[in-house]
A = this chain, B = another copy of it.
Amino acid sequence: MERQSEFTLRRRVQFHETDAAGTVHFSRYLLYMEEAEHAFWRAAGLSIAPLEADYGWPRAAVTCEYRAPLRFEDEFEIHIRIVAMTQKSMRYACVLTLGDVVVATLTMTTVCVAKRPDGPARSVPMPPVMHERFQVARDAPLRG
């Protein structure tokens, strides 16, 4: 299986994702990015949260720039790609598009940490299979 660098998820806006302004609430864009991330992992034969795992993937940082609204029943695309990968972390860039319109651009850094029921998290090297299935996207720009 070739190593994967990017993934596109097609998704429809659900009514419960809108707010009283008539458009999608700005916090939901993070849910969209995460749904694409997890679908990306599944497409690479992996789960980000297997029941038996003794590690997890908390987020270290997120950014989002909003360019156009989304409305109920809009069918949009979430393009996610790996832009950096270390022994312990991954960084994604993500673009939401509605037809030709760029709706938002996001980034997310996520870190592999040992699961501990309480106390501070400790980052650990990610499972080796990650480097067999994923790789950083080439220098092609995110769009175009």
Q: How far is the CA of A22 from the CA of B52 in the complex (A)?
A: 12
Kindly specify which of A41-49, A80-88, A131-139 makes contact with the partner chain: A41-49
Q: Give the distance to chain B from A116, nearest Cβ to Cβ, in Å.
A: 10
Segment 19-76 of A: residues with Cβ below 8 Å from B: 19-23, 25-28, 30-31, 34-35, 38, 42, 47-49, 51, 56, 58-66, 68-69, 71-73
Complex partner residue of A63 from B27, B34, B47, B62, CB under 8 angstroms: B62
- Given A19-B16, A34-B27, A61-B65, residue A42 in contact with residue B73 (CB < 8 A): yes
- Given A21-B49, A72-B49, residue A27 in contact with residue B30 (CB < 8 A): yes
Chain B residues positioned under 8 Å from A25 (CB to CB): 15-16
Q: Is the CB of A63 within 8 A of B66?
A: no
Q: Is the CB of A30 within 8 A of B34?
A: no
Chain B residues positioned under 8 Å from A130 (CB to CB): none
